[in-house]
């Protein structure tokens, strides 16, 4: 697998965004959280163990935003715990109220993993949302890491479509559901489906969630034991 961009175009965009003199006058925030399993599109990045996570972001009145996040990870059962760092930039705009659109570009890096930069990748997300209950997104990565026996890590393209739904808040409670399909390229590439269902409890600034997550039989073919199968995951997030 070839080395990632040096520096990543996402990082260059983030540096340009952060250097704008008007940023200091805009809003900022972040979060600290813990989850019982760090799942991304039905695939665990913590070897189905708990993970600690944090992020910090800045947003402008025009809808532009940028930030950085960190999470503990265990990218394979053969490796110890390490960290995932990411930088992201994007924008949110009202299309026609109550619809809004969002574009997000991210760069992920794993500087303390034994695989080093072979795990690094970039991602672009385009999203459309209706109020707070309907969210449809399309994700593209040109260099997602994929492990192949006898070959090791290679970079492949990955395309994903995902739909998430949430009921209105009632007594601080809301039900959630999601479904997605991801197409992973490379030798013997394939697509797999994943889905989730659960609920959220809002106790601002805390949010607690519990979800049931599973994938179809194609996911273990691509990601082995990292694929979630009939798994419950709990998350607690404190936002500031």
Nearest alpha carbon to residue 36 among 239, 190, 209: 209
Q: pLDDT tens-digit profile of 202-226?
A: 999 999 999 999 999 999 999 999 9
- pTM more than 0.75: yes
C-alpha span between 46 and 173 (Å, rounded): 28
Please report which confidence band the pLDDT of residue 98 belongs to, taking 50, 70 and 90 as the band edges: very high
Q: pLDDT tens-digit profile of 23-43?
A: 444 799 999 999 999 999 999
* Half-sphere exposure for 127 (CA within 13 Å, toward CB): 20
CATH class of 9-233: mainly beta
CB-based contacts of 35, cutoff 8 Å, min separation 6: 46, 50, 51, 53, 233, 234, 235, 236
Nearest alpha carbon to residue 181 among 38, 46, 42, 39: 42
CB atoms within 10 A of CB 78: 9
pLDDT average, residue stretch 106-126: 91
What is the predicted pLDDT for the residue at 96? 80
CB contact at 8 A, 56 and 28: yes
CB contact at 8 A, 57 and 28: yes
Please report which confidence band the pLDDT of residue 11 belongs to, taking 50, 70 and 90 as the band edges: low
Domain ranges for the chain: 9-233
């Amino acid at each position: 697998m070839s080395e990632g961009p040096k520096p990543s175009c996402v990082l260059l965009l983030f540096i340009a965004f952060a250097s704008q003199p008007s940023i200091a006058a805009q809003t900022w925030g972040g979060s600290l959280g813990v989850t019982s399993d760090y799942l991304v599109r039905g695939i665990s990045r913590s070897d189905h163990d708990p993970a600690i996570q944090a992020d910090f972001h800045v947003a402008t009145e025009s809808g532009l935003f940028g930030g950085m996040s960190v999470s503990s990870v265990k990218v394979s059962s053969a490796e110890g715990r390490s960290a995932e760092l990411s930088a992201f930039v994007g924008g949110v705009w009202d299309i026609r109220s109550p619809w809004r659109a969002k574009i997000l570009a991210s760069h992920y890096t794993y500087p303390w993993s034994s695989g080093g930069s072979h795990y690094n990748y970039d991602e672009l997300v385009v999203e459309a949302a209706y109020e707070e209950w309907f969210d449809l997104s399309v994700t593209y990565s040109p260099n997602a890491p994929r492990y192949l026996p006898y070959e090791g890590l290679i970079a492949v393209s990955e395309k994903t479509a995902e739909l998430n739904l949430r009921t209105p808040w009632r007594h601080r409670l809301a039900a959630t559901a999601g479904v997605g399909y991801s197409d992973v390229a490379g030798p013997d590439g394939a697509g797999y489906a994943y889905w989730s269902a659960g609920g959220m409890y809002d106790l601002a600034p805390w949010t607690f969630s519990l979800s049931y997550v599973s994938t179809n039989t194609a996911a273990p073919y691509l990601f082995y034991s990292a694929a979630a199968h009939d798994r419950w995951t709990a998350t607690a997030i404190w936002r500031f």
